[in-house]
Amino acid sequence: MTTNKKNGAWYNYINKTIVVTKNFMVLAGQFGTPEFHQLMDMRSKQPTFIVVEYKPERNTKKKTYGKLTYETMAKFIANYETDEKNRKTMLAEFDTVQKISKTQKGAYIFVKKWFLGKYKEVFDAWQEEQDAKKREEQDAHLLYTV
């Protein structure tokens, strides 16, 4: 039995640990499973190593759009496009993209990519502005409640 990242358990010789995935840990906790036997074998080969759960590193610099809903996109387009003709054209295009997205596997991701392709810079600036306003309101609220 090999011990690599593909099967859920591997050795880390630098930290002297046996690293296991969360799923592997659950399966290894059940007596008699292949994962149980694999972990027991690994522990017998390296008795001084401790078992730790694998925690993937998160990219903290990655920009996420957690509050970007279809409604938010439509409102942003309606507010950003000041020319009535452009507004109607872009909202119609947005509706078309939404309809096309329903045939795609990841419908929301398809629409989000289209939206960010058109409005990424201005939406990011608008979002920063909204976040700054919220921080100011929270700071003002804290000043008055203290």
Q: 92-145, pLDDT tens digit by residue?
A: 999 999 999 999 889 999 999 999 999 999 999 988 888 888 888 887 766 666
- In the chain, the DSSP E strands lie at 9-12, 17-20, 50-53
- Predicted confidence (pLDDT) at residue 59 exceeds the cutoff of 70: yes
pLDDT band at 67; cut points 50, 70, 90: confident
Distance CA 83, CA 78 (A): 10
> Residue 29 to residues 12, 23, 34, 114, 146: CA-CA distances in angstroms?
21, 10, 11, 45, 51
Quote the pLDDT of residue 10: 95
Distance CA 116, CA 97 (A): 13
Quote the pLDDT of residue 146: 54
Q: The whole model's pTM is what? A: 0.55
